[in-house]
Amino acid sequence: MPVARSFTIARVFLRYRLDQLLPAARRPLWLRGLLSPLKLVPPPQMGRGERLRRALEELGPIFVKFGQLLSTRPDLLPPDIVEELDHLQDNVPPFPSEHCIALIEAALGASVDELFLEFERQPLASASVAQVHGAVLPSGASVVVKVLRPGIDRVIEQDLRLLSVIARWIERWVPDGRRLRPVEVVEDYRHTIEGELDLVREAANGTQLKRNFSNSPLLYIPEVYWDYTRENVLVLERIHGIPVTDVRELLAQDTDMKLLAERGVEIFFKQVFEHNFFHADMHPGNIFVSRKHPRRPQYIAIDTAIVGSLSREDQYYLARNLLAMFRRDYRMVAELHVQSGWVRPDTPVNTFEAAIRAVCEPIFEKPLGEISFARVLISLFQTARRFDMAVQPQLVLLQKTLLNIEGLGRQLYPQLDLWKTAHPFLERWMRERIHPKTIVGEIKRYGPEWLEKFPQLPQLVYSSLEQSRELGPRLENIGEQLARSHRRGRRQYLRRIAGVLLALGATAVAAPDWFAQLPPSGWVLGAAALVLLLWP
C-alpha cells in the first residue's frame, strides 16, 4: 500500500472523526486506548452521515462508488447514514478531449476524421471511470463513444488494495466483523468495478440483455457497434429518450404512468427469475423512457457494465421466501433460511419464526399498496442478522436493484402496488419450475452429459468406497500432526513473550529517565503495540 495514499486516508479519517461512527461500547479495549488521543481533535459540526459522505468524496472515485454500494445495505447501516450516502454523486470534471481523441485513435488504428463523419469535442457526460462523446458513423448512424479515463486502472488497483486491508482489519478486530464478511464484500466490489474497466464486457452484457428483450414492449437496449469497440473504447447507438426522473415531460406527452411503473417491476422480475441475468445498475441516471407509444411506454436502459445473476438454489429460495412472507407463513420463512444456508444450521427455528413474526406483522397490517416490498426484504435480513446471518454477496446486487426499481416506481406512480405485479409472476414461475415441460427441458439439456458419464458410474462408486476405507488412517495421522504443530506453536509463542519482556526490562534498566518522562498517550500507544505484537 503506497505510503502517501495511506497518509491521505489517515488525514481524512482524522479530519472527519470517522472513529465516532463505531459506537464506543462496541470498540475493543485496545482500540479505545489507541484512539484516546483523538479526543483532543474536535469533530466537524455536521451529522455522522454527512461526515462519511464528504470523506468518501474527498478520497476519490473508487471510495465514492464503494459508498454508493454501501448505500444499498440498509440492513447493515443506520438509516441516517444510508440516506446521506444516497446523495453521493459520480460526476467529475472531464479530461481534455485531445487525450480522449488520442486514446480512440490508438485503440481503433485510424484518425477520428476517418472513423467518424462527425465527432463532438465537448463530452456529453463525464464520470469517474469514463466519459462519453457524441459522434456520427460513416453509415450515418448517430452514436455515442465511451472512453475510459487514462490511468484509471492504476488508481483503482491502488484503492482496491487499501479497501482490502481495511476489510481484513474490520474482520479481525471489529465485533461482528466475521459475520459481516467485509473481505467478501470488497472482493465482490472488486469484480464489479473491474467489470467497468472492460468495455468489451459491457458491450457483451448489453448484447445479451438486448437479445433477452428482443422485440419486447418492455425494455430497449442500444445496439453495440462491435467493429468500433475495444477494451477501452465502446461505441453504442445514441438514444433520445426522456430521462425517467423528468416526470413533467412524461406527463406532457400523456404517458400512462401506472403502466410505466408496473412495467418497471415486471422487467425486474423477468430478468431475475426468467433470464437470471439482470441489469444491476438501474439507478435513474441510466434509465430513459421511449418517446414512442406513450400509452404503452417502453423503458430504455444504458450502462450495462454491472449485471448480476443468482444460483438456481438462491432463485428458488428467494421466490419461496417472498411468497411465504406475503402469505404470513413465518414458519416457512424461518425454515427456508436454514435450508438455504443463509443462517446457521443450528438456528432455533421456533425462536427465529417468532422474531420474524414480530417484525413483519406490523408491516402487513397496512394495505398492500402502502407496503414497501424492498423494505420488507431488508427488515427480514435485519432480523436474520440477530441469528448470525452472514452477508450474502450474491444478494447484494439484487437488493440494490430492487430498491432502485421500487423507489423509481413509487416516484412515477405513488399508488404502485408492487405485490400486485410480483405475486402472480412468482406464483407462475414456481408452477413452471416443476411443470413436466420444464423437467423434460432439463433432461434434454443435461441428458447427453448423464449418458456420457453413465458407463463410468460403477468405477466411480468402487473408487469412492476405496477412498473412504483409506481415509481413516490418514485422518489419524493428520490429527497427530496438528497436535504436534499446536505444541510447537505454543512454545514459540511463549519464547516470543519472554523475549519481548526481557527486551523491555533491559530498556527500562538502561534508560530509566526516558521511561519516567513518557507521556500517558505514549504508554497507551506502546501498550496497544505490545498487545498486537503478542497476540496469539
Burial class (CB in 10 A: 0-12, 13-18, 19+), 62: buried
Please report the pLDDT score of residue 210 as a whole number.
95
φ, ψ for residue 217, nearest 5 deg: -80, -5
Q: What is the mean pLDDT of residues 521-527?
A: 56
The residue that leads in pLDDT, 88 or 499, is 88
φ, ψ for residue 135, nearest 5 deg: -160, 170
DSSP string, 52-63: HHHHHHHH-HHH
Q: Write out pLDDT tens, residues 299-351.
A: 999 988 888 888 888 888 888 888 888 788 889 988 888 888 878 888 888 98
Catalytic residue among 19, 281, 303, 314: 281
Residue carrying C-alpha cell 424461518:
334
| Distance, CA of 133 to CA of 235 (rounded, Å) | 10
| Distance, CA of 474 to CA of 469 (rounded, Å) | 10
Q: Of 204-218, 413-427, 446-460, 487-501, where does the model show the most confidence?
A: 204-218
Q: Quickly count: other Cβ atoms within 10 Å of residue 191's Cβ.
A: 10
The crossing angle, in degrees rounded to 10, of helices 373-385 and 393-412 is: 150
| Distance, CA of 10 to CA of 301 (rounded, Å) | 39
Please report the pLDDT score of residue 109 as a whole number.
92
Please report the pLDDT score of residue 77 as a whole number.
72
| Distance, CA of 300 to CA of 216 (rounded, Å) | 11
Please report the pLDDT score of residue 509 as a whole number.
56
Q: Write out pLDDT tens, residues 111-143.
A: 999 999 999 999 998 877 889 999 999 999 999
Q: What is the mean pLDDT of residues 292-305?
A: 91
Q: What is the pTM of this model?
A: 0.70
Mean pLDDT score of the chain: 78
Burial class (CB in 10 A: 0-12, 13-18, 19+), 55: buried
Q: Are 132 and 146 in contact (CB under 8 A)?
A: yes
Q: Catalytic site residue 19?
A: no
Q: Is 334 in a helix, a strand, or coil?
A: helix
| Distance, CA of 317 to CA of 157 (rounded, Å) | 35
Q: Of 109-123, 190-204, 369-383, where does the model show the most confidence?
A: 109-123
| Distance, CA of 430 to CA of 428 (rounded, Å) | 5
DSSP string, 339-377: HHTSS-TT--HHHHHHHHHHHHHHHHTS-GGG--HHHHH
Q: Write out pLDDT tens, residues 143-181.
A: 999 999 888 888 788 888 878 887 887 777 666 666 666
Please report the pLDDT score of residue 46 as a whole number.
80
308-322, 357-371, 414-428: range with lowest mean pLDDT: 357-371
The residue that leads in pLDDT, 120 or 525, is 120
Please report the pLDDT score of residue 141 as a whole number.
94
| Distance, CA of 422 to CA of 135 (rounded, Å) | 40
What is the band of 230 on the pLDDT scale with cuts at 50, 70, 90?
very high
Please report the pLDDT score of residue 533 as a whole number.
52
Q: How far is CA 139 from the centre of its chain?
A: 40
Please report the pLDDT score of residue 211 as a whole number.
95
Residue 493 has pLDDT above 70, yes or no: no
